Structure 1
Amino acid sequence: MNEEIKKIEEDEINLIDLFLVLAKRKSLIIGITLTVAIITAIISLIIPPIYKAETKFLPPQQSSLTASQLLSQTVEQMTGIAPEMLGVKSISDLYAEILKSNTILDGIIDKFDLMKVYDVSYRVDARKKLLSNIEVSVDKKSGIIKLSVYDKDPKRAADMANAFVEELKNLTKNLGITEASKRRIYFEERLKEVKEELAKAEEDMKRFQEKTGTVSVEEQAKAVIGSIANLRAQIAAKEAEIKAMKTYATPNNPELKRAEEALKTLRAELSRLEAKGGSNPNPLIPTQRFPEVSKEYLRKMRDLKFYEDLYGFLLKAYEAAKLDEAKDAPVIAVIDKATPPERKAKPKRTIMVLVATISAFFFSIFIAFFKEYIEKINQDPEQKQKIETIKNYLNFSFNFKKINFKRKIFNKS
């Protein structure tokens, strides 16, 4: 019982001693705390205000394997790290990583001349500065991506946030070269060529009619002309389809094999019809049945009909490829467009001053106790003697190093 009472009395004495030290050093504590608070307040007023502009958008919600593979390959090419290693688990995470890619950052740097704004000489420094001024977060439930951009100019902050989304749209559009895109590009080129040939055939027919007048041909000849021209157009369209398929399909692809079989059938049918015209592979009907003028007319009519049918086939294939491409195209839906913020985001002056004041207060308490400890040591002869001994040891070590250094210089000389 007596021991417990003694312990309580010692604790009370210790607490009283602590308060005595604080009361004794109150000027030091108050001085340090107020000084730091005032300096922090002045600094917070000098620091230029920083504004934050935010935009929210929803990435393409495609369930197709092609879109996921395409974006995964894109992130791996830009960062050199597999998306799984970066913690990328969804389409939204992939788009969030693409926003931080050098391609996107360079587009923003060039558009807003940020190397001059950030006062840097190297592009890599501008990228680091820009990355430090953006925040990208993904809502795990909805998949919505929020992009925040910090800048001294509120309008530039909003423009940069919106420009990030536009750069992302352009990049994903350029990367989205799917099978439908390849077919569309191929048919588009073929359409231009066939259109030029069709215009030439129409011009040849017009010149021929103006020169000789209209020539009547038998209905049978017209039917044969139409059949052969139609078959040739189908063959040309099928060849174009096969070439387009070979840009993305393997030789063992079932659809490619079916298309090649269909092409063989069409060629066989064309050979059967042309064989009726004699030994010449080009005549449509026996040439002995028509005078020379009729033969010329039939040749031009055949060419015109061929290019008309071929153009129609290619146009249908082109439109179908465009529809498929539109289905595969990534669509980024902007939910909230960034607008110039009215209030600054940084610095938060109240928090700055409050944190600095509290930190300075506890630091000043530490200094007060430290000074009190030094003062007590100086008053204790035994402790003072120990400090002097330590100083002597340190002084001896320092002098010993000086002597060795002088000896080395002397030996060299």
Structure 2
Amino acid sequence: MAEKKNSFLIVLRSLVEHRGLILINVFVVTLAAVVISLLLPKWYKATAVILPPEKSESLSELAVSMGLKSLALSGTGFALPVMASPSDLLASIAESRTVAERAVEEMDLVDVYEVEKKRSAIGILRKQMDVHVRADGIIDISYEEKDPELAASVANSIVRQLDNINRMTTVQKATELKRFILEELEKNEVNLREAETALQEFQRTHKAVSLDEQTAASINAAAELYSQLTLDKINLKVMEKSHSPDHPDVINLRYKISEIEKRLRELQEGSAMSDDTSAAFLAIPFSEIPEISLRYMQLVRNLKREESLHEVLNTQLEQAKIMEAKDMPTISVLDWAVPPTNKFKPKRIYIVVTAMILSFVFSIVYAVAHDRWRDYKISNPERYKDISVIFSTLKKDLFGFKRRKS
């Protein structure tokens, strides 16, 4: 306790003895901080606010209705990664080099910043922009500049370019979906003509065989299963292009396809077993139907299957064409950036107060150290002399090294 009291008294004594030096240091440093803060250029921050992306009710639902989950969008025009919200994904796109490059071109920032290469202007833009996602999903896109008008213009340019890229990606997804549908539709039309011809030939050779209710239900079930199998295979092709083979969605889809194929084999071979009464009603073994009836049933089943698939594909094709032709904004802007009236930095009060506190602390440290060194000189003159010699030698070596270097 006595040592703590002595230490406090030593510090207090140093403060009193060197109060003039401390006050002068604090005053000079604070005054310098005030002057510097006044000389620093003013920076302004303009912010555009974007609402959280809404779920796409067009292309996403179209893709999901066909079972094409890999083409379903998350409201951003892009497939959504695991553990990322649509707002996070949109923010990442806003921070991308592509958006920055397009904003640089639109605002002609190479000339504005007087740099030789576009790369340099992109670097400046990415350094001065900031993208923040709030807890509620709202996105703030900010840009800092010395010119408030330029700050607002660049922030709005980033928003526009973000929307353009998002819109372009949505159209590309719709085009890709349309291409897959067209490929399957071409195959379906060939199969449909062949099924119609085969049934007509059979009916000419054999009179039409009337099927009972359960057999007809089995045919309808098989046709629906085959349509679903075809759509799932389309989805698997798309997924394999954008996902790894061990992705959970790919594995689940393969398992689903395997189960549908198994169910179709059961209907074909008559091996389906189920406790469900509705499933048992449909599980009529085709092999038990007389040969002519079986052949007729197969032809009718093939025709129904192709007709069902043809109707689905044509409907989805028209919707995909509509989505491909759309050119609508994909981003909802709550607030466009406006030229700010108040500066964002420098924060003069913060600079001045920080400088004042630091100068006060360092002045106290200097005063205490000075007094301690003086007391040490009095109490230990021999050691003080030895330490002084060491410091003098080091000082000479340091200055000698500087002279040789110069």
- TM-score higher than 0.5: yes
Q: Residues 59 and 331 of structure 1 are in contact (CA less than 8 Å); yes or no, is this contact kept in structure 2?
A: no
Cα gap change, 1:143 to 1:328, in 2 (>3 Å) = farther
> 1:267 and 1:105, CA in 2 relative to 1: closer, same or farther beyond 3 A?
farther
Partner of 1:115: 110
Within 5 Å, which residues of 2 pair with 1:289-308? none
Q: Is the 8 A contact 1:52 1:157 kept in 2?
A: yes
Q: Deviations over 1:118-160 (max 9, x none)?
A: 34444333333222211111123x3211111111111111111
| Aligned partner letter, 1:245 | L
**Distance 1:144-1:391 versus aligned 2 partners, 3 A rule:** closer
Distance 1:317 1:372, change over 3 A: closer
Where does residue 182 of structure 2 map in the other structure? 245
What is the aligned-residue identity percentage?
A: 31
Instruction: Identify the residue that residue 71 of structure 1 maps to in structure 2.
Output: 78
- Quick one: which of 154, 162, 168 aligns to 2:156? 162
Unpaired segments ≥5 residues, structure 2: 61-68, 200-313
User: Per the alignment, do residues 163 and 395 of structure 1 end up closer, same or farther by CA in structure 2, a change over 3 Å counting?
Assistant: closer
1:385–1:152 CA distance, 2 compared to 1 (3 A): same
Q: Cα gap change, 1:52/1:397 in structure 2, threshold over 3 Å: closer, same or farther?
A: closer
Distance in 2, Cα, partners of 1:321 & 1:391 = 83
**Residue 175 of structure 2, aligned match among 181, 194, 198:** 181
The C-alpha deviation readout for 1:328-386, integer Å capped at 9, x for no partner, is 97721111111111111111111211111111111111122222233334333122232
Give distance in 2, aligned partners of 1:60 and 1:326: 21
Matched position secondary structure for 1:71: coil
Q: How does 1:191-230 map to 2 (within 5 A)?
A: none
Residues 273-312 of structure 1, C-alpha deviations (whole Å, 9 max, x = no match): xxxxxxxxxxxxxxxxxxxxxxxxxxxxxxxxxxxxxxxx
Separation (CA, whole Å) in 2 of partners of 1:150 and 1:92? 22
Q: What is the RMSD computed on CA atoms of the aligned residues?
A: 3.9
Could you tell me how far apart the structure 1 residues matched to 2:8 and 2:158 are? 60
Q: Per-residue displacement from partner, 1:81-131 (whole Å, max 9, x unpaired)? A: xx66xxx61111111011111111111222223234334444333333222
Q: Which residue identity lines up with residue 89 of structure 1 in the other structure?
A: A
The whole-number CA distance in structure 1 between the counterparts of 2:349 and 2:140 is 27
What amino acid does structure 1 have at the position aligned with 2:155? A
Query: Given that residues 77 and 166 in structure 2 are in contact (C-alpha distance below 8 angstroms), is that contact kept between their aligned partners in structure 1?
Result: no
Compared with structure 1, are the counterparts of its residues 124 and 372 closer, same or farther at alpha carbon in structure 2 (3 Å cutoff)? farther
Q: Which moved more, 1:366-375 or 1:333-342?
A: 366-375
Contact 2:174 2:321 in 1 (8 A): yes
CA distance 1:172–1:344, change in 2 (3 Å): same
Of the two, which has the highest radius of gyration? 1
* Corresponding residue for residue 96 of structure 2: 101
User: CA contact under 8 A between 2:166 and 2:330: conserved in structure 1?
Assistant: no
Using the size of structure 2 for normalisation, the TM-score is: 0.58
- What's the offset of the Cα at 1:169? 0.9
For 2:97, give the aligned amino acid: N
**Candidates 1, 10, 13, aligned match of 1:20:** 13
Distance in 2 (CA, whole Å) between partners of 1:49 and 1:175 is 39
Which of 171, 189, 194 is residue 259 of structure 1 equivalent to?
A: 189
What is aligned with 2:373? 374
* Counterparts of 1:30 and 1:260, CA distance in 2: 96
The equivalent position to 1:43 in structure 2, one of 36, 56, 61, is 36
What's 2:121 paired with? 126
**CA–CA separation in structure 1 for the residues paired with 2:15 and 2:396:** 38
Q: Distance in 2 between matches of 1:149 and 1:114?
A: 13
> CA separation in 1, counterparts of 2:126 and 2:27?
36
What residue in structure 1 maps to residue 141 of structure 2? 147
